[in-house]
Amino acid sequence: MENHLSQFNLADKVAVVTGASEGIGRDIALGLANAGADVIVCSRRENLLQEAKTEIEKSGRRAEVFVLDVAKVGEIEKLKDFILNKFGRADILVNSAAFTVTKPAWDMQEDEWDTMMDTSFKGLFFCCQIIGALMKKQGYGKIINLSSTFSRSIIPGRSVYGGIKAGVSHLTEALAAEWAPDGLRVNALAPTATLTPSRQSLLQGKVLEKILSRIPLGRLATGEDLVNAAIYLASPASDFVTGHTLFVDGGWIAAS
């Protein structure tokens, strides 16, 4: 009888995680390492990446640090060279890097728009394209893009963010269809509000009550919820899944 649990094993896979210095990206980087992968952690903050590297190495896996601003395509090209130099391959890419502004649409400024788009959409696309090219040569790879419940539903103050995340989910479908013949599986993870250090100050009081009222399972997402889903999408267990946005949302979208 086939050992189905072995299909979730990431032993000897090489994973690249952007936005890995904190929050969901950091949790996923550590989770992929615990599942057996070696990990290249990327973000703009080297000190936090070094801390993530130390944690990964405690699990017995190899970790490398690459300081990256995904809004700069030239830096993504340098990341590609770094991957080839250090590992010679990339099996998994997690696009978690993002920049978020929460404010009424009337008040959104051009520089805020540009930074959100350049980081959360342009940077994500070119990471897919440039790192995905390594996977194309191998004939196999897993790309996981971070979307959101706000790709399908919305609350005040999240208009631009929601538009970007809807774009991420749609782009994920487009790339999945286009790159399937090359052996690439492209999927998205869409969390609801997630309890991370950067969100703790926002997720309090009436804001927290309102959000919880829309989540049938009655709690916020945790990093571990996203880790488990990411391992599934990164592993052979999901080899026949592509172009899908997996909502890890406690029922938010179903109840909407």
For 159-192, give one letter per residue: b (16+ CB within 10 A) or e. Answer: bbbbbbbbbbbebbbebbeebeeeebbbbbbbbb
* Rounded alpha-carbon distances, angstroms, from residue 162 to 52, 87, 153, 156, 218: 29, 36, 8, 10, 22
**Is the dihedral angle over the CA atoms 238, 52, 247, 228 positive or is it negative?**
positive
Cα of first residue to Cα of last residue in the chain, in angstroms, is 41
- Measured CA to CA, the distance from residue 97 to residue 88 in angstroms comes to 23
Phi, psi torsion values for 143, nearest 5 degrees:
-115, 130
Residue among 126, 150, 161, 232 flagged as catalytic = 161
Contacts with 227 (C-beta within 8 Å, 6 or more apart), sequence order? 27, 28, 30, 31, 32
Distance CA 46, CA 161 (A): 26
Rounded to whole angstroms, the Cα distance separating 27 from 23 reads 6
In this structure, the number of other CB atoms found within 10 A of the CB of residue 232 comes to 18
232 as an active site residue: the answer is no
Catalytic annotation, residues: 161
